[in-house]
Amino acid sequence: MSLYLENVIETAKRKNSNEPEYLQAVEEVLATIKPVVDNHPEYEKIALLERMIEPERIVSFRVPWVNDEGNVVVNRGYRVQFSSLIGPYKGGLRFHPSVNQSIMKFLGFEQIFKNALTGLPIGGAKGGSDFDPKGKSDNEIMRFCQSFMTELYRHIGQDVDVPAGDIGVGGREVGYLFGQYKRIKNAYEGGVLTGKDVCYGGSLARTEATGYGLIFFMREMLKAHNNSLEGKTVTISGSGNVAIYACQKAYAYGAKVVAMSDSNGCIYDENGIDLELIKRIKEVERGRISEYTKTHPNAQYIERTDEDSPVWKIKTDIALPCATQNELTLNSAKALVENGVIAVGEGANMPCTIEATNYLLEHGVLVAPAKAANAGGVATSAIEMSQNSMRYYYTFEEVEEKLDRIMVNIFNACKEASDTYGCCGNYVAGANIAAFRKLAKAMKAQGVV
Ligand code: NDP
């Protein structure tokens, strides 16, 4: 690694020693862009890397709300506006008890690279709260969302910052957030949030986009290595938005999904996961995945007992981590390799630890990196924004076709970068390099800001 890169990493570590996820994301990117940085000695003088890893702005705020018992609860809200280099800040909101500044910053940092890869004019941001939606009534969710937006509204806008969903924030939450924004602003700014219901400005196929996009990317990656999804066994972690629609599209390409999970454990169904049942349990009843075996007694429920999810011990050709960061550890990577996995597709953000990614690559496993492989969600959000601006709707087929084309372009960009910079077949490096080149060019062009 060059001295400049080393110094940037060392300074980042010193300044952010209590933010491990953020440092992990930064190190992962900086470790792969050396060949580009070496070709541009002028970057050091203009502190290009230092500026790229420092968020433009972080907002942290109090979110007081009243629960059903009449007690006041206080949560902490965040919005990390990381980069507006190539468009308005754009990135989801996460409601989960684990949310803290480090996780918000890592997600915001990843988002600028991901958004650059889409080829669309969107900057990078992330936000959320340590609020836990699990077990809350609809009214509690609404009161929380309204309080959250009562502060957030002053920092966002359809040309400023456009939030969307993420873990714990789906169509219901986006609806409550949008309603409160509209009420405060007394204006119908349809493009201020994405992931809206289609009945008030959402895009068809946005719900499906991240999962579908992941499979489109996987299809292209396998094709480049003379392989396909047809007849492959697939295991998926998570049973939320990304996992469900990745499962649906994997089936459409002739693969068989045999396992899915939630944070408590996983189910293994050798006959193929009954996706309609998963959707009912998770989306309608908001229940636990263990309930699957009530209807399918032949399936097996394996409870999670430590940090290594049981889902990665199941034999599979393709593994799709679609739950959360660092869910696929070195131990899990070893189990997957031992069982003959050929490809891993990151649906979640940074689901593989750095050690796991390196182990998979060293053992010839194809890795579809999150920044590229799960970019279909935000790309479709940008398509939603453009429909809102045009006051027009595309059909489901039109959006899906655009999404497919974007994912093909993203894969090609990753491949071109990995071929050009001597890391052929390493799409983790390819994605970082392709996005970095674009961001660096924009940063140079815009001067010291
Ligand atoms: P959802 O809230 O819909 O689903 C999350 C799923 O992951 C649930 O099954 C949840 O299980 C599981 N999960 C959450 N936290 C943990 C944990 N600590 N350990 C194990 N399992 C966990 O979220 P999404 O599907 O929207 O998001 C999943 C991932 O994909 C996230 O990393 C997100 O950032 C990323 N992503 C999402 C996009 C989108 O469009 N939605 C776009 C790009 C990336 P449980 O019910 O037990 O909590």
Helix (H) or strand (E) holding 124: strand 124-129
135: left (phi over 0), alpha (psi -120 to 50) or beta: left
DSSP output for 345-380: E--SSS-B-HHHHHHHHHTT-EEE-HHHHTTHHHHH
| Residue 90 known to be catalytic | no
Nearest protein Cα to ligand 1, atom 21: 263
What are 128's two structure tokens? 């959320």
**447 pLDDT higher than 80:** yes
How far, in Å, is the centroid of ligand 1 from the Cα of 130?
15
pLDDT grade for 36, boundaries at 50, 70 and 90: very high
Q: Locate the ligand 1 atom nearest the alpha carbon of residue 96 and give its number.
A: 15
Site to substitute for ligand 1 among 24, 112, 311, 324, most atoms within 8 A of C-beta: 324
Determine whether the shortest distance from the Cβ of 376 to ligand 1 is under 6 A: no
| Confidence at residue 422, expressed as pLDDT on a 0 to 100 scale | 85
**Proportion of the chain in helix, strand, coil states, percent, rounded to 5:** 50, 15, 35
State percent of the chain over pLDDT 70: 100
Nearest protein Cα to ligand 1, atom 15: 324
**61 pLDDT higher than 70:** yes
CA atoms within 13 A on the CB side of 133: 22
CA–CA distances in Å: residue 110 to residues 82, 305, 356: 10, 30, 18
Q: Which member of 90, 105, 114, 126 is catalytic?
A: 126
Residues 6+ apart with CB under 8 A from 23: 12, 13, 16
How far, in Å, is the centroid of ligand 1 from the Cα of 324?
5
| Confidence at residue 125, expressed as pLDDT on a 0 to 100 scale | 98
Q: Convert the pLDDT of each residue in 310-368 to its tens digit.
A: 999 999 999 999 999 999 999 999 999 999 999 999 999 999 999 999 999 999 999 99
Give the three-state DSSP class for 168.
coil
Nearest protein Cα to ligand 1, atom 30: 348
In one letter, which amino acid is 80? V
Q: Which residue is associated with the tokens 């290594």?
A: 308
| Confidence at residue 286, expressed as pLDDT on a 0 to 100 scale | 87
**55 pLDDT higher than 80:** yes
pTM of the model: 0.96
Q: Locate the ligand 1 atom nearest the alpha carbon of residue 262 and give its number.
A: 11
Mean pLDDT of 4-30: 97
Q: How far apart are CA 253 and CA 37, in angstroms?
A: 39
Indicate the pairing of strand 72-83 with strand 124-129.
antiparallel
How far, in Å, is the centroid of ligand 1 from the Cα of 4?
36
Mean pLDDT of 194-214: 97
How far, in Å, is the centroid of ligand 1 from the Cα of 166?
7
What are 99's two structure tokens? 């949310």
Determine whether the shortest distance from the Cβ of 374 to ligand 1 is under 6 A: yes
Q: Convert the pLDDT of each residue in 313-323 to its tens digit.
A: 999 999 999 99
Q: How far apart are CA 207 and CA 195, in angstroms?
A: 7
By CB neighbour count within 10 A (0-12 exposed, 13-18 middle, 19+ buried), where does 119 fall? middle
What are 136's two structure tokens? 């809350």
Q: How far apart are CA 284 and CA 331, in angstroms?
A: 34
CA atoms within 13 A on the CB side of 320: 39
Determine whether the shortest distance from the Cβ of 346 to ligand 1 is under 6 A: no
Determine whether the shortest distance from the Cβ of 311 to ligand 1 is under 6 A: no
Give the three-state DSSP class for 300.
strand
Determine whether the shortest distance from the Cβ of 166 to ligand 1 is under 6 A: yes
| Confidence at residue 1, expressed as pLDDT on a 0 to 100 scale | 65
User: Please, what is the Cα angle at 115 between 110 and 119, to 5 degrees?
Assistant: 145
Please tell me which residue, 375 or 422, carries the higher pLDDT value: 375
Q: Locate the ligand 1 atom nearest the alpha carbon of residue 170 and give its number.
A: 3
Q: How far apart are CA 247 and CA 256, in angstroms?
A: 9
Q: Convert the pLDDT of each residue in 72-129 to its tens digit.
A: 999 999 999 999 999 999 999 999 999 999 999 999 999 999 999 999 999 999 999 9
How far, in Å, is the centroid of ligand 1 from the Cα of 447?
37
Q: Locate the ligand 1 atom nearest the alpha carbon of residue 378 and give its number.
A: 42
Q: Locate the ligand 1 atom nearest the alpha carbon of residue 375 and give its number.
A: 43
Mean pLDDT of 241-258: 98
How far, in Å, is the centroid of ligand 1 from the Cα of 392?
30
Q: Convert the pLDDT of each residue in 275-294 to its tens digit.
A: 999 999 998 898 999 999 99
N-term to C-term CA, the chain: 27
